[in-house]
Amino acid sequence: MESTLAPVAPTAIPVAPNVAWDKLADKVLAGVPLSAAEALSVLRCEDRELPALLAATYRVRYERWGNDVQLYYLRNAKSGLCPEDCGYCSQSKISDAEIPKYRWNDEETLLASARKAAETKARTFCIVASGRGPSDREVDHVVKVVKKIKETLPLNVCCCLGLLNPNQAEQLAEAGVDRINHNLNTSERFYPEICSTHTYEDRLDTLKAVRNAGMELCSGGIVGMGEADQDVVDLALALRELGVESIPVNFLHPIDGTPLEAVQKLNPRYCLKVLCLFRLANPQSEIRIAGGRELQLRWLQPQGLYAANSMFVSDYLTTKGQSPEDDYRMIEDLGFTVTGPGPETAAGIRAAEEAAAAQCGSHCESAGHCG
């Protein structure tokens, strides 16, 4: 009996995608900066090529960071009451979100949070405060707290206090603050779409003040606010131009009561491509999976660490994270290791090495020999 079925056309076998992504990783490892066109191709990678892209990106991650994962612990030291109109933020003046609102935590509350950070295996304690920027009195408060943390705990300290002037940045540097977090958040082109009370240039000015004061930069963005792929690329490349040492990549967590409450533009696969982009564009920088990790990456969270080498442990500013125990298990299941206590900035590492050398010299002198 003659078949009535139409003949099946032969399937075209494409060139293995791992070849293209491995070549791109080779270029990055050789010190060739990722181009804007290459960066865009990463974001627009077909889903079927995602495993190959992750594998290539992991090569770049491993070259600089091995299988280490650095944990950060965040304390919202001043919540709500912000005069700015950032559309993504539950603490802004235009937000109706039901969140805790309080003025600055006192010294003991912040010190207790720092101790909790050390207990949860965090290497860095982040002090975050809502507002346009701190008053001089608030900076004095942070300075006192940071000095006590540095005296008693093996923690790096990162502060996120809003817009800073040069004098404030210098005070924080002298107190021992290792890094200042001040996110660019998105591209210069898209910035007016998310905030009108300050500008992209205002944020750049703060980062310049921080750099001039001798501190390292922690600056990243939020993906999923309605921006175009090109905006994400522009942000990644702008952070490279600034030489940012630590880059937190947030994925929008749409919060009820904010202007972006109904925005849902992301899927876990795209989020992984974003992390690959930031790693390939900034191979020497710490890449941190930040807010929105649990919501937007969902079951693909572990795969994010093939690109990123850092994450927050416990909760965020006004949203909950998964438990530290779940984070530890996830890292262990990957065969990765939580980075132990110790300095993470170039200045901190130099100081530790100098202290160790001085201690060795003193010991050798008293013992009459060395080696």
Q: Tokens in use for 55?
A: 């594998």
> How many Å is the maximal CA-CA distance in the chain?
101
> Is 288 designated active site?
yes
Q: Among residues 45, 86, 195, 271, which one is catalytic?
A: 86
Q: Tokens in use for 161?
A: 């206090």
Sign of CA dihedral 48, 49, 51, 52: positive
> Is 82 designated active site?
yes
Q: Among residues 159, 195, 218, 271, which one is catalytic?
A: 218
350 burial via Cβ count (<10 Å: 0-12, 13-18, 19+): exposed
> Is the distance from CB of 67 to CB of 336 less than 8 angstroms?
yes
Q: Among residues 45, 82, 159, 276, which one is catalytic?
A: 82
Q: Among residues 158, 160, 195, 276, which one is catalytic?
A: 158
Residue 145: alpha-carbon gap to chain centroid: 23
How far is 215 from 209, CA to CA, in rounded Å?
9
CB-based contacts of 321, cutoff 8 Å, min separation 6: 293, 294, 312, 313, 314, 315
> Is 160 designated active site?
no
Residue (of 338, 363, 299, 336) closest to 124 by Cα position: 338
Q: Among residues 45, 75, 89, 240, which one is catalytic?
A: 89
> Is 158 designated active site?
yes
> Is 360 designated active site?
no
How far is 300 from 311, CA to CA, in rounded Å?
14
Q: Among residues 126, 160, 271, 276, which one is catalytic?
A: 126
End-to-end alpha carbon distance in the chain: 90
Among all residues, which ones are annotated catalytic?
82, 86, 89, 126, 158, 218, 288
